[in-house]
Amino acid sequence: MKAYLLAATVALLAATAPQAQAQSRRAAQTPPPPPAGMAAPMNTPAPPPATNGQLDYRNPAADPLIPVEADKRKPVTDDLQATVVELLELYHESKQCHWNLRGPLYLPLHEQLQDNADAYLKYADILAERVLQVGNPVDGRTAVVAATANLGEFPGGYLSDKQVLILMTERITAVARRVRQRIDHLSKVDEVTSNQLQELSYELDKHVWKFRVHMQ
Ligand SMILES: [Fe+2]
């Protein structure tokens, strides 16, 4: 394994591919399609060629440095992409509640919602970067989050403390269930990613518990 990585690194440093070869490689690559109605992201696996011909660092000799086997990258990416958009949606919903909350439980819930929001952003970042580690771009655009988080519409305006407890526990529980399914799925594909999702799963269970105690 070490010799393999060393060979890949040497190849990376030594390779100076001719421009024509680089162009045919780009043509052979087919980036994943964007969501319906969306423009393709700029950070696809096949970046556009540099217009001045001087800033093209694309070198396939670096590809063997991606740590996950080629056939496992898509299932890992799909599960992580789905989780990232759900976490970004939970982040926005938590802030929406944090701001518009009213009622006797204002103070503890206001603070807990902020802690939760911080955790969703933290794990969205960790899991998004895992997508990049396995050699794919991640899509965190607001339109993609709105179209794919699949958590239903969220009410606007003031929210009572009771309403927030019900709304947020339902949504966090829905995401926690999906994450458990992905942990199970990824345990057969990539254990490192699966383990990372386990940490998120613990965090989501903790959030549900901290809201549940107000209702029991
Ligand atoms: Fe605040």
Q: Provide the pLDDT for residue 38.
A: 65
Q: Provide the pLDDT for residue 53.
A: 63
Q: What residue type is 165 in one-letter code?
A: L
59 and 119 together in one domain: no
Q: Provide the pLDDT for residue 27.
A: 42
210 CA distance to ligand 1 middle (Å): 19
| Structural domains of the chain, count | 2
d(CA 163, CA 180): 26
| Single residue among 16, 33, 65 that ends a domain in this structure | 65
149 CA distance to ligand 1 middle (Å): 24
96 CA distance to ligand 1 middle (Å): 10
103 and 154 together in one domain: yes
Q: Provide the pLDDT for residue 64.
A: 85
Q: Provide the pLDDT for residue 216.
A: 87
Which residues span the domain enclosing 50?
A: 2-65
d(CA 45, CA 66): 13
Structure tokens at 61: 């000799």
15 CA distance to ligand 1 middle (Å): 51
10 and 78 together in one domain: no
174 CA distance to ligand 1 middle (Å): 25
Q: Helix 191-215 crosses helix 161-186 at what angle (to 10 degrees)?
A: 160
158 CA distance to ligand 1 middle (Å): 15
Which spans in 33-141 are helix H? 70-100, 106-133
167 CA distance to ligand 1 middle (Å): 19
45 CA distance to ligand 1 middle (Å): 38
Structure tokens at 7: 């060979």
192 CA distance to ligand 1 middle (Å): 34
48 and 126 together in one domain: no
61 and 74 together in one domain: no
Q: Which residues of the chain have pLDDT under 70?
A: 1-57
* Residue in 168, 99, 150, 92 with CA at minimum distance from that of residue 124: 92
Q: What is the pTM of this model?
A: 0.78
- Give one DSSP letter per residue of 6-29, joined into a string: HHHHHHHHH----HHHHHHHHHH-
Q: Say if residues 157 and 168 touch (Cβ distance below 8 Å).
A: no
37 and 80 together in one domain: no
Structure tokens at 171: 């949504």
